[in-house]
Structures are given as C-alpha cells and as structure tokens.
Amino acid sequence: MEKDPQNGEEAPSLREEGIKKDQDYNDADNKSDETEKPVPRPEDAPRAEAPKPTGTGPVPNGGLQAWLHVLGGFFLFFNTWGIMNAFGVFQTYYESGALFTESSSNISWIGAIQSFMLLTVGFFSGPLYDKGHLRILLIVGSFGIVFGHMMLSLCHTYWQVLLAQGFCVGIGAGCLFVPCVSILPTYFNTKLGLVVGLATAGSSFGGVIYPIVLYRLIDSVGFGWSVRVIGFIALGTLVLPITVMKMRVKPPKARALIDWSAFTDVQFVLFTISTMIGFIGVYVLLFYLSFFAEEQRITDTNLAFYLVPIFNAASCFGRTLPNALSDRTGPFNIVGPGAAIVGTLILCMIAVKNIAGVVIIAILSGFFSGVFIAMPPVCFVALTQDKTKIGTRIGMGFSIIAFGVLAGGPGGGAILGKVTPLNWHGLWIFGGVTPLIAAVLYVGLRVQRSGFKVNVKA
C-alpha cells in the first residue's frame, strides 16, 4: 500500500484498484443476469448430436484380441455346425430302434429341423446382434445347446427327441450362428478367407469329437450319460467365446430383416439358389453315409460310426485350404469345381461295395464339401456392394439355403423308403445330381461376373 500525500492515509495501489473495479463489474454482470436473459446467438443454438463412431480405429488384422476372436469363432462353429455334422451317428443309432422306432425319413427330420433352426434363427437374431446384444446371444445360445442335450439325455420317445435335439439345440445354435459369421470381418479385412476358414474348421473338429464321444461311451454308460457328456463338453468350450468376444464395431442402426433390393440382384439370387440346391446333396451324404455302410454290411457297426468322424476330419482341411486359396483366386473360382466334385463322389456311392471304397469317398467328399459350409459367407461379402447390408444379405441367404437341408434329409429318407431292399441307388442319384446342378449354376455366375477368362480373380 502507498500513502495518500494529501491526508496521509494509505492509498490503494493501481493493481488493487484494478482488481476492485473488475469485481464491481462482475457484481454488476451477476445482477444483470438475474434480471435479464441473454440474447440468444445463432452459434449458441443447440446442435444435432454428431453420430457416434461405430468403430474404434482401423481394423486390427492381428494381435492377441483379434486372434482370440478367431479362437472364439472356432468354438462357436465347434458347437453349431460341429453338432449338426455329428447327426449322422445319431441317425444310425436311432435307426437301430434302441430308443424308438420310426422311418428313416422321420428320423432325419430331427437333424433337418436342427440345421434349419440354426440357419433361420440367425435371420431373426441378426438385428439383436446389430443393436449390440452380442453377449445376450452368446449366453442364450449356449444355454439352448447345453439344456437341449441335457433334456435329450432324458428322452425315450420320438417327439421328445424332436423337441430337445431338433428345436432346442437348433434354436440355441441359431443364436450363435450370427456371431460366427459377423464378428470376424470386423477384426480382419485382409486374408479374410483364411481367417474364416480357420474358424469354420471348428465345425469339422466338432463333427469328429462328438460322434466319437457318443459311440465310445454309449455301450459303457448308456445313451443318457453319453449325451450329458456332450452337453458338458459344449458348456466348457462355450465359456471362452462368452468370456473373450466383444463387438469392436457396432452398426449405427439395426439392420432390416429384409433387403428387398436383393430380390432384384440376379447374382445374389443365383448364388443363394445354387447353394440351397447343393446343400441337398451334402445332407443326403452326411445323414446316410454311416447307415448305408452298416445296412449294406460293407462295414461293421464300429467302423460305420467312425465314417462320420472321418468325413468331418477331412472337411477340416476342406474348410481351411480352399478359403485360404480364395484370397488369391477369388471365391467363385473355388465353389464351382468343388460342388462338381462333391456331386460326382456322391454318384460314385452307387458302385461302392467294399470298405476301401466307402472310406475313400468319405475322405474326398468330406474335403470338398467344405466349400458349401465355409465359402458362402465369403461369397455373400463379395456379392454385396453396399457393405452396410452384409448382415441382412447373409441372414436372408442362409434362411433360403436352409430349405435345402429340409429337402436333403427327409427327402432322401422318403426316396430310401421303409421296406427292404432300401432304394440306395435312388438316394445316391438324388444326392449326386443336386450338387452337379449347383456347380453348373456357380459356373454361370462366375462367367456373368468375370467372363470366360480363366486367369481372373473372381
């Protein structure tokens, strides 16, 4: 403080005077705020909220988290398509009449409905996935699979088995199917074919493990506990996807159930119909290969049960190597030849009379049938110009393809008949011709997309 030269009192410094004036001005402003509202300015107007980002940066294409999702996808396929692919041994067991007595066609409805539910429930669970409910789908789907097997272990009649194994397990698998095919493209956009192939290999491993478990245990502990063990294996292997998998990209809005423009997309329609027809033959072979070998006395019961694991072990490579190759050649250069080979091999079943023949066809058809399981998701991505509609297109496509499953299993059983001698020739002709028709349609689609040039990625 400085002294005032006139009265001798201490005068405030210039700095303190400035602070006091500022305080006075602030007090005046505060009073003014209490009595007057500020004039709104254009820049103060509320702005529309900017859309939140749906991603968290560039696609990782590697790293621990991304590869953990590949492992999680592996176990999802292990417990969805893997369980579906194991139905052949259940078909053979049910044909024996140990649990109930029904025709081959009726028995095949159990596996057909199971696979149909897997594909069609994914159509409805897609919007839930798009809304960010991944964990709910994983938990509900896992519960359906485990609970369905536990209930199956208590069944003694056909309708009970149909409800537990066909509907309950099938619906549970359908809840898991959308995460199987939708989450990996958000973590990888290079070498997607290889990544999807590695994940889908889980379906082959499931098709190997589950039939062996059932067959090795059924004589010692009975059907009930054999199925419960399968349920416990499913429970243990589904813990990892529930724990590690999370959505990296959430769509800005839930996808529509139907993209009506898809029905005017000739290439999409052609590919979907082709795959549906091809699935008929694959499921004829998958359901009846084991039963054929046993009923025709080509193998004993022991080896007949192991034909399904042999088929699925070979398909493990068929669902990995062609997908990896498709990253270089394009998926449409793979599906056509693969479908033609599958159809030819099924027709060759007409001439099979010995163990060597049935085992060789099981191995080769298992390998090449992988194109029908692993390649469609990659092809649907390539066929969809607007990538925001991929989920809708995949859901629609597989829902239509599901009707091929219904035609293959029960349709094949109706051709086979109930009275001996069974019509095996008619069954194999039906099963072999359908993949050949699919192959012709695939080739036509490939030509439409890329012309007649062979050395073109398509």
What's the pLDDT tens digit per position in 339-398?
999 999 999 999 999 999 999 999 999 899 878 877 887 888 888 887 667 777 888 888
Judge whether 230 lies within some domain: yes
Q: List the one residue out of 259, 276, 247 whose CA is nearest residue 391.
A: 259
Tokens of 128: 């839930």
| Of residues 392 and 105, more confidently modeled | 105
Residue percentage of the chain with pLDDT more than 90: 47
Q: Report pLDDT for 56.
A: 57
Residue ranges of E strands in 270-318: none
Total of domains in the chain: 1
Q: Report pLDDT for 23.
A: 52
Rounded mean pLDDT of the chain? Answer: 83
Judge whether 7 lies within some domain: no
Q: Report pLDDT for 429.
A: 96
Judge whether 202 lies within some domain: yes
Predicted confidence (pLDDT) at residue 299 exceeds the cutoff of 70: yes
Cα-trace Rg, the chain: 31
pLDDT band for 140, please (50, 70, 90 cuts): very high
CA distance 359 to 374: 23
Judge whether 357 lies within some domain: yes
| 173 within 8 A of 141, measured Cβ to Cβ | yes
Compute CA distances 259 → 123, 255, 399, 445, whole Å.
Answer: 12, 9, 13, 21
The CATH number linked to 399 is: 1.20.1250.20
pTM of the model: 0.78
Predicted confidence (pLDDT) at residue 426 exceeds the cutoff of 80: yes
* Residue located via tokens 């049960």: 305
Judge whether 38 lies within some domain: no
CA distance 129 to 244: 16
Angle at 363 between CA 361 and CA 366, to 5 degrees: 100
46-60, 78-92, 191-205, 319-333, range with the lowest pLDDT: 46-60
What is the residue range of 214's domain? 64-244+256-450
Task: Write the DSSP symbol of residue 51.
Answer: P
Judge whether 33 lies within some domain: no
Judge whether 17 lies within some domain: no
Angle formed by the axes of helices 192-244 and 87-95, nearest 10°: 70
Judge whether 250 lies within some domain: no
Average pLDDT over residues 103-121: 92
Q: Report pLDDT for 244.
A: 92
pLDDT in tens, 232-279: 999 999 999 999 998 887 766 666 778 888 889 999 999 999 999 999
CA distance 61 to 448: 32
Q: Report pLDDT for 255.
A: 67
